[in-house]
Amino acid sequence: MDVTEFWAVIEAARAEIGYSIGDDAGDEMAEALERQLGALTPGEIVDFAVEFDRLHELAHRWDVWAAAYLIMDGCSDDGFIDFRAGLIALGRGTFESVLDDPDSLAAHAEVRAIAAGDLSEDALSMEEVNYAAEQAYERVTGEVDTFADEVAAREGEREPVQPDPAGEDWDFDDDEQMRVHLPRLAALFLSESDG
């Protein structure tokens, strides 16, 4: 499965839930992904998981974490894992825009809805999406304990995951630094009196 095929699966799942993200989007997207992946072979599901992990790692950056911190009003290590799954669930165009410029999220409809209080600040935190491939693999194969080994075998030649995010770190609680690094998101999520 190449990157284009990976994103086609994501887009099919997004189409199934109507392309919109709501407060229950993580569950809905994970279920839609499981159904889409359930039509694939076990090897293709593993390929999907390998590509998911690769993309997830590409977004493991301080500037992306800072964006999550603003949008979610704070973001733990686990929260950032789930936020990156949510970014992938938003589709290729959004994901690639975020890699180019995390501040581009300020123009995204769901992020604007979060800022306006129309969606939960956790709407883009999609923990369940992290496990969709594993759930689909188990459903297709009936095997419960082999998925992680299959993924690890395929990922074996890749560089190991770095424990710290890539890029420049800064104090996410310093509103002025957030305004410098992410001005559009800061304008949405920080009040003028902050900082």
pLDDT for 159 beyond 80: no
Q: Residue 195 and residue 193: Cα distance in Å, rounded?
A: 6
Task: Report how far apart, in Å, the C-alpha atoms of 185 and of each of 38, 62, 118 are.
Answer: 37, 15, 16
**Distance, CA of 89 to chain centre:** 6
Q: Can you give the pLDDT at residue 107?
A: 96
pTM for the complete prediction?
A: 0.92
The predicted-structure confidence for 127-150, as pLDDT tens digits, reads as follows 999 999 999 999 999 987 899 999
The predicted-structure confidence for 112-132, as pLDDT tens digits, reads as follows 999 999 999 999 999 999 999
Full DSSP string of 74-137: S--HHHHHHHHHHHHHT-HHHHHHHHH-GGGGGG-HHHHHHHHTSS-TTTT--GGGGGHHHHHH
